[in-house]
Amino acid sequence: MSVVAHKETQAFQTEVSRVLDLVIRSLYSNKEIFLRELISNASDAAEKLRFEALSNEGLYEDQSELAIRLTVDSEKGTLRISDNGIGMNRDEVVSNIGTIARSGTKAFIESMSGDKAQDSQLIGQFGVGFYSAFIVADRVTIETRKAGTVADEGVRWESEGTDSYSIENISKESRGTDITLHLREEEKEFLDEWRLRSVINKFSDHISIPVMMLKQSMGEEEEEKEKGEEWEQVNTGTALWMRSKSDVSDEEYREFYKHIAHDFDDPLEWVHNRVEGTNEYTSLLYVPKRAPFDLWDPNQKHGVKLYVKRVFIMDEADKLMPRYLRFIKGIVDADDLPLNVSREILQHNRKIDAIRTANIKRILGLLEKMSKREEEYQEFWNTFGRVLKEGPAEDHDNAERIAGLLRFVTTKSEGDAQSVGLDRYLERMPEKQEKIYYITADSLSAARFSPHLEVFRKNDIEVLLLTDHVDEWLVSHLHEYKGKRLQSVAKGELDDVLVKGDREEEKEEKAGEHEAFLERIQSSLGNRSKEVRVSKRLTESPACLVVEDYDMSQNLARVLKQMGQDAPMPTPILEINLDHPVVKKLEQTQSQEQFDDLASVLFDQALLAEGGKLDDPAAFVHRLNSLLSGL
């Protein structure tokens, strides 16, 4: 049956052209990377076929030996990388190659800054490594057929990497993908077989799929012709994670990370373990340097690669790693799982649970070691700190261990970097201090200048400044650390230890003397305020708002509202500073109308000071103008 002609020439999307230009410009100084990327993609295709064939052996099409083959044609100036892996159909070619139709494309383009060094770091992060082929080629041809389809469903894609590509149906007898690079004149060094072998040994030696090249002629040409083509394996083909740690160099570990993560940066750290006994498996886990673009996408799966007895099973096996460690890359190779394991089976498997628990302990141990090297850990924290803060809520068993890895800005921080750990906080605590104090706010400036901190500054008590949205989630689940309770400075009554000398008795006496005044304010505010009381917190400001110990914080209620959740705002308690001139003037005001206006302004100012929003800003301005006009 003949192939139905169906050839199209399509224009690249504008952003694809920019990606191509970026890749060519940014990676030109390290152009041999193109071969690593193409071999890595071919290896992935072979691994995916191996997995799919577990349930459908017919996909092998009577050819179960998987391999990647490199062929050089010096006369035509071409280099071909072929695999007999899973292959692609026409729709998949258009989706995966022709348009870069991925959720991250827009984010990738928006991240481009024009700085070549900075932009080059984005390429691996956004998975556009295929386009590195255009560093050395002025034309790239892909011929592919998906395993299990008929020969006439082959597809040819071709582009010069400018503004368009062509795609057509072809007949292709063998499954898999052939990528032919028409090399630029100045890149003909990649027609040299020794050059190619050296690049393969450098970047792809650990690939478990054999990378094959034609055996080089060492004798007479006629003798070689009689023998026919003879292929030989260039890479060692041994799964790197199965080798002894002492036999693997740091450079090999780094290159393997770049292969599995499709990243162009070295990882920060890694941990390699072999576990034997009732549950035998090997794990090789990496801490990346940079976050993937979809780290915060709630619908995106993250996780390590799962192998069973060296057979690839699935990418992003999220049951092997908790969500708060979703940035970890690597592999787990289990000996005791069935080859037909599915995501559903992973959810209810004791051996998987044991592997997950061990993975968590190893990563937390690795991070603890990293935390001893402050500069390196700060780099990690700046990138992944907000993710790690999800840990205490998700992993109660390891909550305190995770808490020891967290970093914060405090009232004693010199800059804005989150660099103070809870252990350092405890070391600096005064002897009589029994709690770890914190404040949550929308911004650092709002936290730093909050009136709630006045008595803490006066008494030189350090307070954690929590301004990430996840911080509210964190403190609602992390209640104490090493026996010290975490306490919001905007909740409940102030500890007596913060009120020095006779101040406590003095405050109590004043509250009794001014009880009628407090009741008058409460009556004026009505249901806006749960209670009005004399503050032990304030030394400079006239008023502040607090809530009861177990009420939702005002800041959390605002965060939930921003996220579209129907969170009722807790009714706050108004605390007033009887020594402040504004409060004294309020107490002396006889006119009920003026009293009501001034009491409302006092409440609204306290609400604004903690980052809240007024229900009726116009009324606030009217009252304020009215009071000012009476001066």
Residue type at position 259 = H
DSSP state of 217: P
pLDDT at 502: 45
Whether residues 121 and 171 fall in one domain: yes
**Residues 80, 179 contacting (CB under 8 angstroms):** yes
**555 inside domain:** no
Whether residues 289 and 352 fall in one domain: yes
Taking residue 119's Cβ as centre, other Cβ atoms within 10 Å add up to 17
pLDDT at 337: 79
Whether residues 339 and 423 fall in one domain: no
Whether residues 281 and 210 fall in one domain: no
The first and second tokens of residue 514, run together, are 């001014």
Residue among 568, 574, 577 at smallest CA distance from 600? 574
Whether residues 416 and 433 fall in one domain: yes
Cα angle 351, 354, 359 (rounded to 5 degrees) comes to: 125
CA distances (Å), 379 to each of 268, 294, 384, in order? 9, 19, 9
User: Domain tally for the chain?
Assistant: 4
pLDDT at 561: 72
pLDDT in tens, 262-318: 888 899 999 999 999 888 999 999 999 998 877 887 777 778 988 888 777 787 777
Q: Where are the alpha helices (DSSP H) in 545-609?
A: 554-562, 581-588, 592-609
d(CA 567, CA 551): 12
Q: Tell me, what CATH number does 528's domain have?
A: 1.20.120.790
**586 inside domain:** yes
pLDDT at 614: 86
**Residues 478, 394 contacting (CB under 8 angstroms):** no
**384 inside domain:** no
Domain boundary among 192, 215, 236: 236
**Neighbouring-strand partners of residue 232:** 213
Whether residues 535 and 517 fall in one domain: yes
Of all residues in the chain, the percent with pLDDT exceeding 70 is 85
Whether residues 21 and 55 fall in one domain: yes
pLDDT in tens, 207-227: 889 999 998 765 555 555 555
**Neighbouring-strand partners of residue 491:** 547
Q: Is 532 helix (H, G, I), strand (E, B) or coil?
A: strand
Whether residues 579 and 598 fall in one domain: yes
Of the listed ranges 128-142, 385-399, 491-505, 593-607, the one predicted with least confidence? 491-505
**118 inside domain:** yes
When comparing pLDDT for 416 and 107, which is higher? Answer: 416
pLDDT in tens, 441-452: 989 999 999 999
Domain boundary among 463, 489, 515: 489
**354 inside domain:** yes
CA distances (Å), 276 to each of 281, 336, 362, 416, 631, in order? 7, 11, 16, 46, 82
pLDDT in tens, 175-211: 999 999 999 999 999 999 999 999 998 888 878 899 9
**457 inside domain:** yes
Rg (CA), the chain: 33
With 50 as the cut, is the pLDDT of residue 121 above it?
Answer: no
Whether residues 202 and 268 fall in one domain: no
Of the listed ranges 11-20, 52-61, 330-339, the one predicted with least confidence? 11-20
Whether residues 191 and 66 fall in one domain: yes
**382 inside domain:** no
When comparing pLDDT for 481 and 495, which is higher? Answer: 481
Q: Tell me, what CATH number does 474's domain have?
A: 3.40.50.11260
Whether residues 511 and 394 fall in one domain: no
d(CA 615, CA 612): 10
Cα angle 204, 196, 255 (rounded to 5 degrees) comes to: 25
Q: Tell me, what CATH number does 214's domain have?
A: 3.30.565.10
Q: Tell me, what CATH number does 313's domain have?
A: 3.30.230.80
Whether residues 72 and 120 fall in one domain: yes
pTM over 0.85, yes/no: no
d(CA 487, CA 537): 14
Of the listed ranges 3-12, 150-159, 503-512, the one predicted with least confidence? 503-512
Residue type at position 223 = E
**Residues 572, 529 contacting (CB under 8 angstroms):** yes
What residue numbers bound the domain in which 253 lies? 241-377
**494 inside domain:** no
When pLDDT is cut at 50, 70 and 90, the band that residue 1 belongs to is very low
Domain boundary among 183, 205, 236: 236
